[in-house]
Amino acid sequence: MAKTAGFEDKLLSGRKLSKLMKEEIKVMVDQLIEDGKDRPHLAAILVGDDGASETYVNHKVKMCADVGFESTLVRLPAECSEAELLERIDELNRDETVDGFIVQLPLPKHIDVEKVTQAIDHRKDVDGFHPVNIGRMTQGMPAYLPATPFGIVQMLDRYNVETSGKECVVLGRSNIVGTPMAVLLSRSRKVGNCTVTLCHSRTKDVEAHIRRADILVVALGLPEFVRGDMVKEGVVVVDVGITRIKDPSKKSGFRLLGDVHFQEVAPKASMITPVPGGVGPMTVVSLLMNTLKASQKEIYQ
Amino acid sequence: MAKTAGFEDKLLSGRKLSKLMKEEIKVMVDQLIEDGKDRPHLAAILVGDDGASETYVNHKVKMCADVGFESTLVRLPAECSEAELLERIDELNRDETVDGFIVQLPLPKHIDVEKVTQAIDHRKDVDGFHPVNIGRMTQGMPAYLPATPFGIVQMLDRYNVETSGKECVVLGRSNIVGTPMAVLLSRSRKVGNCTVTLCHSRTKDVEAHIRRADILVVALGLPEFVRGDMVKEGVVVVDVGITRIKDPSKKSGFRLLGDVHFQEVAPKASMITPVPGGVGPMTVVSLLMNTLKASQKEIYQ
């Protein structure tokens, strides 16, 4: 029996919502083509042959095909130099047929990630990692939002979760999830206006914060860290964690655990994301949305 | 009698500290000159003849002289076009003798502030308002920090206020104070590692947050909003507010009030900024520090 059984009515299902949103994007692309416009075009650079990265990139490429986007996959060997990578980035920056592109992370150790991120033209930075996009987001200006926070914001929006005036507690202050999430939810925007507390490894009484959260976003990478006795009745729970745990009873040999103990927390929550099938599928939709915006020059001219 | 009388030992005195830091900067500039290097050079653009803006800019120019910086004041008439202003910005961007420059805000209504802020080369953006600097700050990278948050961070540093693991509550989410302050104090840095809660106009029970703060930063512009019965014993209070209140008993005809009721809060606080003479004087020092960094290419090559 699925672990979500019995809680179907309170699921924030990224699986279902992402499917719906992909269909919506496809309709918009069909309309563009009908209007004689170009297909949105996403490019991805993959350095090396890390299995997980390859899976992620291939998935993104497949999603592009599903919604009618053009896609280009640029593969570089693991031993490619930083200069070579920067040159390919510069080519994509200048290529007018490419609306947006990403460099799949992580990169080999000899390459400076910050330098790479900043080499991408911010107008094509559909991952939303460039300082210009993070800065504009922080200042409340239109920007490409980083995929995971953007996915979460869309999920809260589509499921009509009221955020204004709510106590929101974010666990984890990473650059790609926790920190931008805390910033976004505190801004004056449709999904925003929360009173946000950002907790991290130095937080002294994290349980006291968890207990007073109306909306709890957990991005720690600590399997089942949040237990049932820690949360308030009616809390909305967004679980960003996804950790592989060995499980010989599974055909794959492992199972996926979130940062939230689903069985204990779901009974008290008003809404909750499952893992898998929650936040994960939304991040790819964010990338597609950003690429669509890029093709329509919605954010930058 | 000064309103700070009796509380001298718990004052976070921006007046004293800024004087000391200016002397330190002057010593560094003297050393640069002795080493045959150029004087740091700050330029400022002032559009129109708003009295307050003129006072601020003149004060900045005077501070430059005090520490041995070169300064240039560019004055443009209130009716100057956005294009003219952008052209002057471009000139300063390209002028190799200018290390950093600012455009004094506010600008006349017919000029787009965002466009102006973004036209400044981020490597010369010593006000720290450009999205690249805000983005880099948010991502924990070296950046020019916005003046007020930078001044506060320096004050907490020099007065040896322990921040790591402390509960910090920031009241007000403005782009130039509250939001960057909340981001900075939550990052893993020397003055940082706080558990930060950012409160604003939509916050439901702001008093409950104020009451649990170890460090309270108030940037609301609401005179004497924080009263004695709201705060915890031992709290460190940083009052960014400064409002002119008519007062016929003063020679100037007004007095300045902070967002914190000093007389009520000081007895409970372990440290507190006075108004005036607290945060205010630190912001100009931040500008000088950023300009010194710019002249030494500490952040950008």
pLDDT 10s digit of each residue in chain B, 301 long? Answer: 578 999 999 999 999 999 999 999 999 999 999 999 999 999 999 999 888 899 999 999 999 999 999 999 999 999 999 999 999 999 999 999 999 999 999 999 999 999 999 999 999 999 999 999 999 999 999 999 999 999 999 999 999 999 999 999 999 999 999 999 999 999 999 999 999 999 999 999 999 999 999 999 999 999 999 999 999 999 999 999 999 999 999 998 999 999 999 999 999 999 999 999 999 999 999 999 999 999 999 999 8
Q: Do B138 and A198 touch (CB under 8 A)?
A: no
pLDDT at residue A288, rounded to an integer: 98
Contacts of residue B279, defined as CB under 8 A and 6 or more positions apart, other chains included, come to B14, B148, B151, B152, B155, B238, B239, B240, B273
Q: Do A196 and B198 touch (CB under 8 A)?
A: yes
CATH 3.40.50.10860 residue spans of chain A = 37-121
Question: Are the C-beta atoms of residues B71 and B62 closer than 8 Å to each other?
Answer: no
Mapped onto helix, strand or coil, the DSSP state of residue B56 is helix
Q: Do A132 and B132 touch (CB under 8 A)?
A: yes
Tell me which chain A residues have a C-beta less than 8 angstroms from the C-beta of B187. Answer: 173, 179
Mean pLDDT of the residues in chain A: 96
Q: What are phi and psi of B54, to 5 degrees?
A: -65, -45
Q: Smallest Cβ distance to B114: which of A141, A188, A200?
A: A141
Which residues of A are designated catalytic?
Answer: 60, 104, 127
CA angle A124, A128, A129 (to 5 degrees): 105
Is residue B92 within a helix (H) or strand (E), and if so which, with residue range?
A: helix B82-94
| Cis peptide upstream of residue A106 (ω within 30 degrees of 0) | yes
Cα-Cα-Cα-Cα dihedral sign, residues B285, B286, B291, B295: positive
> What six digits make up the tokens of B51?
């009295």
Asked if pLDDT for residue A239 goes beyond 80, the answer is yes
Nearest CA-CA partner of A14 in A154, A144, A147: A154
Look up residue A9 and give its amino acid: D
Q: Which fold has domain A37-121?
A: Rossmann fold (3.40.50)
* DSSP annotation string for A41-85: EEEEEEES--HHHHHHHHHHHHHHHHHT-EEEEEEE-TT--HHHH
Tell me which chain A residues have a C-beta less than 8 angstroms from the C-beta of B202. Answer: 164-165, 188, 193-195
Mean pLDDT of A234-246: 95
CATH 2.170.190.11 fits A146-279, yes or no: no
Asked if pLDDT for residue A44 goes beyond 80, the answer is yes
> What six digits make up the tokens of B180?
């960057």
- Residue B284: count other Cβ atoms within 10 Å of its Cβ: 21
Tell me which chain B residues have a C-beta less than 8 angstroms from the C-beta of A179. Answer: 138-139, 183, 186-187
Could you tell me which residues are beta bridge partners of residue B236? B215, B271
Contacts of residue B41, defined as CB under 8 A and 6 or more positions apart, other chains included, come to B69, B70, B71, B72, B97, B98, B99, B100, B291, B295
Could you tell me which residues are beta bridge partners of residue A110? none
Report d(CA B293, CA A161) in Å as an integer: 45
Q: What are phi and psi of A28, to 5 degrees?
A: -65, -40
In the set B99, B125, B127, B239, the catalytic residue is B127
Query: Which of B197, B201, B206, B301 to mutate against chain A (most A CBs within 10 Å)?
Result: B197
Q: Do A202 and B180 touch (CB under 8 A)?
A: no
More confident residue, A9 or B301: A9
pLDDT at residue B301, rounded to an integer: 86
| B229: annotated active-site residue | no
> What six digits make up the tokens of A267?
């009974």
Chain A closest-CA separation from residue B283 CA (Å): 20
Look up residue A27 and give its amino acid: V
Contacts of residue B256, defined as CB under 8 A and 6 or more positions apart, other chains included, come to B242, B243, B244, B245, B275, B276
- A57-89 pLDDT, tens per residue? 999 999 999 999 999 999 999 999 999 999 999
Is residue B75 within a helix (H) or strand (E), and if so which, with residue range?
A: strand B70-76
User: pLDDT above 90 covers what percent of chain A?
Assistant: 96
Confidence of residue A147 (pLDDT cuts 50, 70, 90): very high
Report d(CA A221, CA A225) in Å as an integer: 9
- A155-184 pLDDT, tens per residue? 999 999 999 999 999 999 999 999 999 999
Confidence of residue A117 (pLDDT cuts 50, 70, 90): very high
pLDDT at residue B2, rounded to an integer: 76
Nearest CA-CA partner of B105 in B56, B174, B178: B56
pLDDT at residue B1, rounded to an integer: 57
CATH 3.40.50.10860 residue spans of chain B = 38-120
Confidence of residue A3 (pLDDT cuts 50, 70, 90): confident
Please give the distance of CA A176 from its chain centroid, rounded to a whole number. 8
Nearest CA-CA partner of A156 in A197, A194, A207: A194
pLDDT at residue A301, rounded to an integer: 86
Report d(CA B199, CA A195) in Å as an integer: 5
In the set B60, B99, B154, B293, the catalytic residue is B60
Residue A301 exposed, middle or buried by CB count within 10 Å (0-12, 13-18, 19+)? exposed
Quick one: three-class SS letters along B2-49? CCCCCCHHHECCHHHHHHHHHHHHHHHHHHHHHCCCCCCEEEEEEECC
Q: Which fold has domain B38-120?
A: Rossmann fold (3.40.50)
Mapped onto helix, strand or coil, the DSSP state of residue B62 is helix
Burial B53-86 (b: 16+ CB within 10 A, else e): beebbeebbebbeebbbbbbebebeeebeeeebb
pLDDT at residue B3, rounded to an integer: 83
Q: Angle at which helices B178-186 and A178-186 pack, to 10 degrees?
A: 160
Contacts of residue B248, defined as CB under 8 A and 6 or more positions apart, other chains included, come to none
Q: Do A203 and B165 touch (CB under 8 A)?
A: yes
Asked if pLDDT for residue A257 goes beyond 60, the answer is yes
Look up residue A68 and give its amino acid: G
User: pLDDT above 70 covers what percent of chain A?
Assistant: 100
Q: Do A195 and B193 touch (CB under 8 A)?
A: no
pLDDT at residue A176, rounded to an integer: 93
Report how far apart the first and last C-alpha atoms of chain B are (Å, whole number): 51
pLDDT at residue A1, rounded to an integer: 58
Question: Are the C-beta atoms of residues B30 and B19 closer than 8 Å to each other?
Answer: no
Mean pLDDT of A279-287: 96
